[in-house]
A and B are shown apart, each in its own frame.
Chain A
Amino acid sequence: MMILSRLREFDGPLTRDLVRLPGQFGLGQVPKKLTPDAVTTSVCGYCSTGCGLKVHMREGQAINLSADPGYPVNMGMACPKGWEALAPLEASDRATVPLVKNAAGVMQPASWSEALDAFVRKFRGIMEKHGPESVAFLSTGQIPTEEMLLLGMLWKFGMGALHGDANTRQCMATAHVAYKQSFGFDAPPFTYEDFEQSDVLVFIGANPAIAHPILWERVMLNRRQPQILVIDPRRTETSAAATRHFALKPKSDLTLLYGLAHILIRDQALDQNYLADHTENFAAFAEAVKEFTPQATSQATGLDAQAIEDLASAIRPGKRVSFWWTMGVNQSHEAVRTAQAIIALCLMGGHIGKPGTGPNSITGQANAMGSRLFSNTTSLVGGRDFLSEAHRREVAGILDLPLDSIPAKNSLAYDEILDAIKDGRIKGLWVVATNPRHSWIGQGELDQILGRLDCLVVQDMYVSTDTARLADIILPAAGWGEKEGTFINSERRLGLHKNLRRAPGQALADLHIFRLIAEAWGCGDLFKDVHQAEDAFRLMQKLSAGRPCDITGIQGYAQIDRRGGIQWPYSARAAEYGEPQTHRRLFEDGEFFTPSGKAKFLFDPPRNPGEMPDAEFPLVLLTGRGTSAQWHTGTRTSKSAVLRKLYPKEGYAEIHPEDAKKCGVGNQDWVILRSRRGELRLRACLTAAVRPGQVFVPMHYEGVNALTYPEFDPYSRQPSYKYCAVRLDKN
């Protein structure tokens, strides 16, 4: 045995490759080859959870990262995307130099000055010929608020253009409009602590276990033995872990919510004082929901009348009840009213402004909230109204601009911009950090629409996105981790992300690109005090003064970093009383931002989606997130080899075994899914997670939106991705 053990190598170069050593900085052991010489913090750039990451640095560059145990959002945890946040920066298809299409139609590398010149010549040419409404931008919820602000100012106050929207239209427009109409301001009232302080958590159209794993972490940290009730047509990871799952018919949620209101009113299970003191229009609402008897509701939703009674009974006043919604509500043909029905249930039970309560919208993108407040698209900066002269005067005063440089007209919404391109009214489009060619609803037409443009500019990290492949000019952008700025997460927390890596080649932060375009356009004065992100943050602060989202109390980036993020509002006045508390919720005093100070009941009768299943297309197509390792169209997540292991390579469709049997489809067979607009080849995944008559396809795979039916909520113009009629055939 001695000889045997002498012939065994217990150490050597291969063994040492995986040696772990104490990493210092409170990290515990880390790989020896990745030992940091410093650590810093940064918030994640994927979703609106806004997790804190601890970045392991060596010689000034990020070499690794882990989740930040000290950050009040995630307490040391992260989802796979966060863990792999650095991987997308290293991809081989990064845009490193500007590219401009030459006369022969070939994209050629260009210098920044050539590219800026091309940009200015093209857009100015179009605007001089066809007017300021002939160009538009489509931007994102993925860049910091500072950059959104600069883009919005440059476009509307500097270049004199009007139309601009962001992909936040696809994700948060509904929550924005619902809150704004009901509360007088786009103000999600909650703090993540409410997950832990609820007795009853109602999730509607939300699958946080997969879509927001760190918020699910907070639910699992709830020590009050809460009831978790999930309202979702599909059996998801969240509904599997819930106390009870209410698998209602797709898009019958508004009816269900009205049915619940009916029962609460019938039983007088109401917080009468709250209704009287802090709400308005309740009587009309009560009248409107009279017809939604348990029987009628049961019929419309497919739920047992008893199940509906049970659900109503769970949300009566007396307990801490919170409602959480995501895209199942927001992406609907009657989305705003559905969100407002949730708000109504909260107002009726007094479930707002107290720990563990609230009608709470979980946002999608890292900076959807920043976009809603400061992007200068739907709202005038600071959550103001373009149509209000008083608001325009305020902004003109703060920015020292002539009043007439601020448009007194609203921009077209995303879908209207595309329609305008289609009928030739808009001829120049600037796409910033988004990929509509994959993500837009009813995408089949989009190639043709984008083809009609005189000029398509794509500003992105990658040259390879579906949209970038059609561009006339590509402006290479630095990504998350290569620049700094703040994101505002779902609970209104401003978090700081930092410049941790050198951007490749000549890629520039969007902030620098906007400044350069301003210079090239001749409106550089607009940003004369903006040299870096924090200068733009100062502008945000000025613009927020006196608004509900007042952040004038924040000392600067260093304080945001030190405090683990700071929630808005935090006014200069509040700052006089000291540092901000870590967790704060809104409306604790029952005062809302409406002129009357009261929250409004708003409602419409439910109606069917625009396309219903029929004999030819008998199934309903639901779409949504597939795995925690995938982000939207995958332009970043697909760059990490580890993440790629965590999701199916090929698109797949969840099909109920009964429907599969009818088509002779076996598990993992190839199938063709057809709608009136397109078709898609997918793997069949047989599961009772969907009900008979329904098919679910994750949104991350190219071509899904060739099937979806372009219908929009009338108030928020948010597309209804989650309902269209399809047919299933064996491939």
Chain B
Amino acid sequence: MIKLNDTSFHDTQPSAPSLSAFVPGLLDAAITQALQRQGTLTAVDLFSSRSEIPALETWYRELLPLQAPGPGEQYAFEVDLDRCSGCKACVTACHSLNGLDDGESFREVGLILDPLAMKGPQHITSACHHCQDPECSNGCPVLAYEKEADTGIVKHLDDQCIGCEYCVLKCPYDVPKYHHDKGIVRKCDMCVGRLRAGEAPACVQACPTKAIRITVVTVEIPDPKGPQGFALPGSPDPKWTRPTTRYLSKKALPDLAASADAGRLKVEQAHHPLVGMLVISQAAFGFTWAAMAWKYLFAPAADPLASAMAAWLLPLLGFGVMQGALLVSLAHLGRPHMAWKAWLNWRRSWLSREVIAFSAFSGLASLWVGVGLFGSGSPLLKALSRWPAMAAWAPPPLPAWMPMAVDALTALSAALALTASAMVYIDTPRALWRRAATWSRFFLTALTLGPCLVALTLLALGLDEGIAALLQVSALAQIVKMAVEFSLIRYRHANPSPEASGFRDLEMLKRSARLLLGPKRNLAWVRLAMGVVAAAGALVLSAGPVAANPITAGLCALLFLATVAADLLERHLFFATASAPRMPGAF
């Protein structure tokens, strides 16, 4: 590297500009020097010692309560809407002062517009509302939420989280956010460590107009119509979780005001592993019922040898399908290795109960398999009995009531497991799931897929007894199911008045209907086509006498595939069109 001192450097420059004064060697030296200077962070070295730095404490002192919450009290955010100018510094400060990842922030700012009167625009800043009855916590299967006894702050235990995202479905305010890289959910903790140290949360510290403060509130049900209530246009029903944030304003928001994103349809996340898990597990439940129905209604008349095959093959298949469902469900989790903890919140969470019910069904189904393999008339025992050396070891014949008891219990546990599954969704604030017959959908899926798969299995074994009935059940279930699903479109023009009871639910259902007819229109058509093909095919196939031959089996296999496609698509739509309640959003 050539290093010239500055004087000689300039002295050697030609003074009269020619066509190009460019002298390679000298310019290179200047370039090197410039790059070197560029790399030296001089100013910082010079001035970083500035010592007298006043902190922000004097700024935010008035924004914090004088005392920590006492018994029956908790911390809460309070937002003065008249002071919020919509600058959104709170969002960026939360991100920076909490070291959150790219694009992550625990605070959001929505917008309420008034299309008619000259009011607003009114921005709405919101974070976690640290609810008195936090549904995130109620629903969390692994108890990864902790509502602190002394502060009332709803904390998320990041290391406990298995990334099931059920809290995302449970929170009416869309607060917990899934962090894909970490496989867990994260959320606002009201900067609890700062509060304990007498400091203000990041958002409170950073608001240029002092619109956000921390208050201590008494733990009681807020009056949603009251001056301190939570009556923001488009915001979810506060009765659901009893949020503690107070939004204050001297100016009443006009009746017709709506969130800026009100007209925009948001396709909800489809959660494909859940789609698969639900459809497959319901196929297993329906399969179980259909297999048992066949056993008691049609097996006695069937060919004994093939029927004996069916007696052990059907339980094995049912059990296998259920294990498939459980495996697929693991793909949904951010941290599947912790899935074993999912029963912990059985007292409050339907997800925990679903996990327990699924396990119970799996256990009983394995007994069912055992009875099929080792019960009386089992081909395995027959084979063993032909081997004299083994005859002594053969188990004593099972008592006659036992297979029946196992059958009954397995069938019952399937019904309970299906119900628990349905309750997972019914117990959320999404109107589509609560109102539009989640249980019927799940039950009908079991009835479309289960009998069809049993019929296919029987045909493969060369059996033709009961096939027509099974296919007819499947077809009927498919037809009823389509009617149930598409009856949703009756809400597409719903225009509920804000005073009407169930106003918020109707708004959500309207959005669901519009999602089905709008962005999800094409998938809805395909789903309908598959359903019609499956139902019509099953009816045609079962109309005449059914003979067990490869052609029938092949046709039945095609019907089964159409049914699977129809039900997977239905379940995708079930998630994607389940419009969620949210805080007023921006667009």
Contact = CB atoms under 8 A, between A and B. Distances in A.
B396 interface: no
A7 B160 CA distance: 9
B262 interface: yes
Contacts of A76: 56, 59, 205
B122 to A, nearest CB: 7
Contacts of A531: 6, 37
Given A8-B160, A220-B210, A28 B19 contact: no
Given A40-B50, A652-B587, A220 B27 contact: no
A668 B264 contact: yes
A666 B30 CA distance: 61
B44 A210 contact: no
B88 A627 contact: yes
Interface residues of A, number: 126
Interface in A627-659: 627-629, 641-646, 648, 652, 657
Interface stretch (A113-121, A163-171, A195-203, A293-301): A113-121
Contact of B159 (A15, A523, A648): A15
A683 interface: yes
A442 B13 CA distance: 45
B211 to A, nearest CB: 9
B344 A689 contact: no
A171 to B, nearest CB: 20
A593 interface: no
A209 B87 contact: yes
A463 interface: no
Contacts, number: 335
A84 B587 contact: no
A644 B103 contact: yes
Interface string B312-341: 000000000000000000000000000001
A731 B115 CA distance: 21
A508 B87 contact: no
B383 interface: no
A685 B587 contact: yes
B121 A240 contact: yes
A181 interface: no
B370 interface: no
A503 B99 CA distance: 23
A562 B46 CA distance: 12
Contacts of A688: 114-118
Given A508-B38, A685-B587, A20 B193 contact: yes
Contact of B20 (A28, A121, A645): A121
Given A210-B86, A648-B587, A686-B115, A502 B205 contact: no
A113 B28 contact: yes
Given A7-B341, A39-B48, A498-B44, A220 B109 contact: no
B186 interface: yes
A516 interface: yes
B83 A525 contact: no
Interface string A26-45: 11111111100011110000
B199 interface: yes
Nearest to A116: B27
A686 B123 CA distance: 16
B56 A28 contact: yes
Contacts of A666: 263
A307 interface: no
A18 B55 CA distance: 22
Interface string A437-456: 00000000000000000000
Contacts of B19: 124, 128
A79 interface: yes
A235 B44 CA distance: 44
B38 A512 contact: yes
B48 A14 contact: no
Given A38-B48, A516-B34, A240 B97 contact: no
Given A9-B157, A69-B59, A667-B262, A657 B206 contact: no
B386 to A, nearest CB: 50
B500 to A, nearest CB: 21
B109 A11 contact: no
Interface string B203-235: 001111110000000000000000000000000
A193 B102 CA distance: 37
B324 to A, nearest CB: 28
Contacts of B143: 4, 7-8
Contacts of A502: 38-39, 41
Interface in B104-150: 104-105, 108-109, 113-123, 142-144, 146
B91 A80 contact: yes
B53 A70 contact: yes
Nearest to A207: B85
Contacts of B159: 9-15
Contacts of A61: 41
Nearest to B59: A76
Contacts of A40: 43-44, 47-48, 50
Nearest to A238: B85
A545 interface: no
Interface stretch (A211-219, A310-318, A329-337): A211-219
A69 B199 CA distance: 15
A507 interface: yes
Most A-side CB within 10 Å, residue of B16, B27, B98: B27
A214 to B, nearest CB: 6
B41 A499 contact: yes
B276 to A, nearest CB: 27
A641 B13 contact: no
Interface in B262-304: 262-264
Contacts of B193: 19-20, 29
Interface string A680-705: 00010111110000000000000000
Nearest to A245: B118
Given A7-B344, A516-B27, A668 B98 contact: no
Contacts of A501: 41
30 contacts: A8-B144, A8-B344, A14-B161, A17-B99, A17-B182, A26-B55, A38-B48, A66-B93, A67-B206, A75-B59, A77-B206, A83-B93, A121-B20, A213-B87, A214-B208, A484-B42, A499-B40, A508-B35, A515-B30, A516-B30, A519-B21, A519-B26, A562-B50, A629-B92, A648-B586, A669-B263, A687-B115, A688-B114, A689-B120, A689-B121
Given A7-B344, A213-B85, A508-B34, 18 more contacts: A18-B98, A40-B47, A69-B59, A79-B208, A80-B88, A84-B92, A120-B21, A209-B86, A235-B121, A240-B119, A247-B118, A484-B42, A498-B43, A502-B38, A531-B37, A642-B95, A642-B103, A685-B260
